[in-house]
Structure formats: structure tokens, C-alpha cells
Amino acid sequence: NAGVMQNPRHLVRRRGQEARLRCSPMKGHSHVYWYRQLPEEGLKFMVYLQKENIIDESGMPKERFSAEFPKEGPSILRIQQVVRGDSAAYFCASSPEREGLLNIQYFGAGTRLSVL
């Protein structure tokens, strides 16, 4: 059973470009979460999605950031017009649908975004 897959592992963008980060949840998981980890800091929640729905985006910056989890395919975190402050590690986590296990989030290896 493959774990949570994130790609790319490393992404370099120049200021003003767009960054697309992909996350394929574990098999059988329909809940996806995105977190951001700034250097030397803990993880900060960004957004929680279920298939085709954004459930909670309270941690997402209001501008330039968007997320989706389509019916088919991976979840995508998109950052438009990146700035240097967006440089961070972005982690995706997934959890299964079954209620008893809802609270265990399994994390991917992260995508490290560097903005030049």
C-alpha cells in the first residue's frame, strides 16, 4: 500500500511564476490536508479537502493560493505569482473515511519550494 505521494520533491520558481504541487493520497483515503512548514518552524494547517469539496480553508492565504481535489486525479495546491516568502516545505496528508480513523493523518514526504 503506497503512502501519500507528493511531487515534485523539489520545485524552484522565479518570482511571479506559478507553482503547482501535487498530492496523491493513500489508497482508500478521501480526505486531504495541506500544511506549510517554514524554515525552523512547525507545520501550519492550510486547507482540508474531500473529493471535489473544500471543507476548511481557514489557514490558506486569501490571495494567490488555491487548492483542489478533483474526482479523478491528485489534489493540487496552486500558488500564483510566487514571492520569496512562499519558500517553504509543503506537506500533504491524507486520512481514511472511516470515522474511527479519521484523526490519523499520514503525511507525504513534502515538496520543497524555493523561490528565487
Partner 1 sequence: AQKVTQAQTEISVVEKEDVTLDCVYETRDTTYYLFWYKQPPSGELVFLIRRNSFDEQNEISGRYSWNFQKSTSSFNFTITASQVVDSAVYFCALRGQLGDNDMRFGAGTRLTVKP
Interface contacts to partner 1, rule CB under 8 A: 33, 35, 41-45, 48, 55-56, 58-59, 89, 91, 93, 99, 102-110, 112
Of 27 and 44, nearer to partner 1 (C-beta) is 44
| Least CB distance to partner 1 at residue 102 (A) | 6
Strand partners, 106: 94
Nearest distance from C-beta of residue 45 to partner 1, angstroms: 5
CB neighbour burial string for 9-29, b if at least 16 within 10 angstroms, e if fewer? eebebeeeeebebbbbbbeeb
Say whether the peptide bond before residue 8 is cis (omega within 30 degrees of 0): yes
Q: What minimum distance in Å lies between the beta carbon of 16 and partner 1?
A: 27
